[in-house]
Structure 1
Amino acid sequence: MTLNSQVVVKIKRLNDNAKIPRYEHPGDSGADLVSIIDYTLQPLERFAIATGLSAEIPMGYELQVRPRSGLALKHGITVLNTPGTIDAGYRGEIKVILINLGSEPFHIVQGQKIAQLVIAPVILGQFQEVDELSPSIRGSGGFGSTGVSYVEVKGDG
């Protein structure tokens, strides 16, 4: 297996209990982020969980904070602003905004994996104001305009 090129992200511990993000398995795209606090997240409560880390991200990249699928499926715990964006110029503490969509309180303990950190390239757009846009098949159809199900139609063929 060949690894893609790697990008160096400098990480600073702001707390002795902070854990440097790491990939659990070869080929993983997300490195685990760990809580440095104990906290009980009540149903429908959202809270910014401290990681005790700050980062220096190279220009042209961002860090994305994403949910852990196991926490989402088993407990209804997810990252509220998925994906959370950490811009290259930010040097403050990385915090994870978790929300409990489950029906039971969820206990987060210090050292627990709470989210994943993914590094992604940033492509800047050049926003150009115009008087008209070219037409498209979809047009201005918005939410739900493409229907709610897919039914395969078989011919007599």
Structure 2
Amino acid sequence: MIYDINIKKLDDKAIIPTYGSEYAAGADLYACLDSAVDIEPGQTVLIHTGIAMEIPAGYAGLVYARSGLASKKGLAPANKVGVIDADYRGEIMVALHNHGTQAQPVEPGERIAQLVIAPYIVGAFHQVDELSETVRGEGGFGSTGSK
């Protein structure tokens, strides 16, 4: 299913998100920069995209790492997954973090992250005294793995 998403360019250099293939779930977000920016090891830099958008009510924009950028350059969103709410109208920016051991450049127009538009559920939270029982129960992280 295809939804119309309104996008506003905030900068003439901005590039509208694009999908890399017919069945790609994520649309590429592009760096809107005047010149290259070096990200030092362990450093996080806020990279502008130069765009704002209207995400439909009941959906969120999820900003994920691009696998090539993360595996080849060690650059990925600092917060792992950015969340853009449907009522946000400001510029979309990506906080890129350098997980590597060498400075990495980000070039103007470079694909820096991918945006997945996904539905979400709003929970009505209710405090209770007991929760329903399951086989797993209170088993924590790694509790369902093989022994």
Aligned equivalent of 2:24, options 3, 28, 31: 28
- 2:11 and 2:31 map into 1 onto residues whose CA distance is 11
1:71 Cα deviation from its structure 2 partner: 0.9
Task: Show the counterpart of 1:155.
Answer: none
Task: Show the counterpart of 1:80.
Answer: 78
1:114 Cα deviation from its structure 2 partner: 0.4
- 1:30 and 1:134 map into 2 onto residues whose CA distance is 36
Task: Show the counterpart of 1:61.
Answer: 59
> What TM-score results when the alignment is normalised by the length of structure 2?
0.92
Identical-pair percentage = 48
> What TM-score results when the alignment is normalised by the length of structure 1?
0.87
Q: Deviations over 1:52-106 (max 9, x none)?
A: 0101111011111110001111111111222211000000110011110011100
Aligned equivalent of 1:129, options 116, 127, 130: 127
Q: Which runs of 5+ in 2 are unaligned?
A: none
Give the 5 Å matches for 1:1-157: 5-37=1-33, 38-147=36-145, 150=146
Aligned length: 145
Counterpart amino acid of residue 49 in structure 1? I
RMSD (Å) for aligned C-alpha atoms: 1.4
Moved more, 133-142 or 56-65: 133-142
- 1:106 and 1:84 map into 2 onto residues whose CA distance is 21
- 2:132 and 2:21 map into 1 onto residues whose CA distance is 46
- 1:134 and 1:34 map into 2 onto residues whose CA distance is 46
